[in-house]
A and B are shown apart, each in its own frame.
Chain A
Amino acid sequence: MVLKLIGACMTLGACGSMGLVWAGVHEKRPRQLTALEGALQLLETEITYGATPLPEAMEQVAGRCDPQAAGLFMMTAREFAKMGGVTAAEAWERALGRFFPATALDETDLNILIRFGASLGISDRQDQAKHLKLAMNQLKAAAGRAEAEARKNSNIFKYLGFLGGMLLVLILY
Chain B
Amino acid sequence: MTAGITDTKQCKKNVDTMVCLMSRDILPVLPNRIREMVTELPGDILDQVEEIRLRQGKPLLVGLNDRDVIVTPLGQMTTVPEFGYTVTDKDLMRALQLISSSSVYAFEEEIRNGFITVRGGHRVGISGKVIVDKGRVRTFKYITGLNIRVAREITGVADRVVSYLLNAETGDVYHTLIISPPRCGKTTLLRDIIRQLSCGIPKLGFGGCTVGVVDERSEIAGCYYGVPQKDVGIRTDVLDGCPKAEGMMMLIRSMGPALIAADEIGKPEDATAVEEALNAGIKLLTTAHGKDREEIAQRPVLKYIIEQGIFERLIILGRSRGVGTVEDIIDCKNSGSLIYNNRTGRAVTDRENINE
Chain A contact residues, CB within 8 Å of chain B: 47, 51-55, 57, 80, 83, 85, 87-88, 91, 120-125, 127-128
Contacts and interface: CB of A to CB of B under 8 A. Distances in A.
Given A52-B103, A53-B101, A121-B103, 6 more contacts: A80-B102, A88-B103, A120-B102, A121-B104, A124-B105, A125-B105
A53 B102 CA distance: 7
18 contacts: A52-B103, A53-B100, A53-B102, A53-B106, A85-B32, A85-B98, A87-B94, A87-B98, A88-B97, A91-B102, A121-B105, A122-B102, A122-B104, A123-B139, A124-B104, A124-B105, A124-B111, A124-B138
Contacts, number: 63
Given A80-B102, A85-B28, A88-B102, A121 B108 contact: no
**Which of B96, B98, B106: most chain A Cβ within 10 A?**
B106
A87 B108 contact: no
Given A121-B97, A122-B93, A124-B139, A85 B104 contact: no
B290 interface: no
A100 B20 CA distance: 40
Interface residues on B, range: 20 to 34
B226 to A, nearest CB: 12
Mostly helix, strand, loop or mixed at chain B's interface?
Answer: helix
Interface of B: 28, 30-32, 35, 93-94, 96-98, 100-106, 108, 111, 138-139
B34 to A, nearest CB: 10
Nearest to B33: A85
Nearest to B108: A124
Contacts of A51: 103, 105-106, 108
A47 B100 CA distance: 14
**Which of A121, A123, A125: most chain B Cβ within 10 A?**
A121
A127 B104 CA distance: 11
Contacts of B98: 85, 87
Nearest to B140: A124
A51 B333 CA distance: 48
**Which of B35, B104, B108, B139: most chain A Cβ within 10 A?**
B104
**Which of B31, B94, B105: most chain A Cβ within 10 A?**
B105
A118 to B, nearest CB: 12
Contacts of A121: 97, 100, 102-105
A123 B98 CA distance: 13
Contacts of A127: 105
A83 B104 contact: no
Given A53-B101, A55-B101, A124-B139, A83 B106 contact: no
Nearest to B96: A122
The 7 closest A-B pairs by CB, nearest first: A88-B102, A121-B102, A53-B103, A87-B97, A125-B105, A54-B103, A51-B106
Contacts of A53: 100-103, 106
Contacts of B108: 51, 124-125
A112 to B, nearest CB: 20
Contacts of B139: 123-124
B126 to A, nearest CB: 13
Contacts of A87: 94, 97-98, 102
A4 to B, nearest CB: 65
A120 to B, nearest CB: 7
A52 B105 CA distance: 9
Contacts of A123: 104-105, 139
Contacts of A55: 101-103
A112 B138 CA distance: 29
Contacts of B35: 85
B102 A83 contact: no
